[in-house]
Amino acid sequence: MILLQLFYEFFKIGLFAVGGGAATIPFLYSLSDATAWFSYTDLANMIAISESTPGAIGVNMSSYVGMTVAGIPGCIIATLGLVAPSIIVILVIAHFLKRFRDSRLVQDIFYGLRPASTGLIASACLGLAQISLLDVGALTSIYTLSNLFHWKEVVLALLIYMGIKKFNKHPIVYIGAAAAFGIIFQLAA
């Protein structure tokens, strides 16, 4: 039964997450709330690992959730659930696109999908910033402004941003630097 639920949940995510792997993140927040298979902190860790490893972020995250929930069969089923809608849609579109390739309506539909995917990705970025940089609990209690932010993470984000602007190195350099600082922060804590 859990395998069927994994397939169903990730099929829904794959069906509605238009715009790539980062667009799956808002749906994963909802999945976390609905199933409690993972916490928001787990999701932030999944995103960091998925961004740092080869492969599509959505596929990596579905594989991770499936693995933690139901082992290797869960990993396979969740991943298949996520990619099945894309495969189905691609096959259907490829069949009909030959006939309607020059249709203005088809071009307008694809043009209209761009803002939707941009919105989903922006939502994911804001959610990650909230988890990584803010202590949301500080908003509901009497804390000073200094307790509102995770200062180490804020400083690290600013340093990486300045490094990108100044040095323009390959992204793997910044991923490695963030991983090294993350390890140092964990050891110092």
Domain boundary assignment for the chain: 2-101
Mean pLDDT of 53-59: 80
What pLDDT is stored for residue 47 in this prediction? Answer: 84
The pLDDT tens digits for 133-188 are 887 666 666 656 667 788 888 888 888 888 888 888 888 888 888 888 878 877 87
54 burial level (CB within 10 Å; 0-12, 13-18, 19+): exposed
Please state the pTM of the whole predicted model: 0.59
Could you give the 3-state DSSP secondary structure of residue 141? Answer: coil
Sequence-separated (6 or more) residues with CB below 8 Å from residue 76: 66
The pLDDT tens digits for 107-119 are 888 888 889 888 8
- Rounded distance between C-alpha atoms, residue 20 and residue 55, angstroms: 12
Name the amino acid, one letter, at 142: I
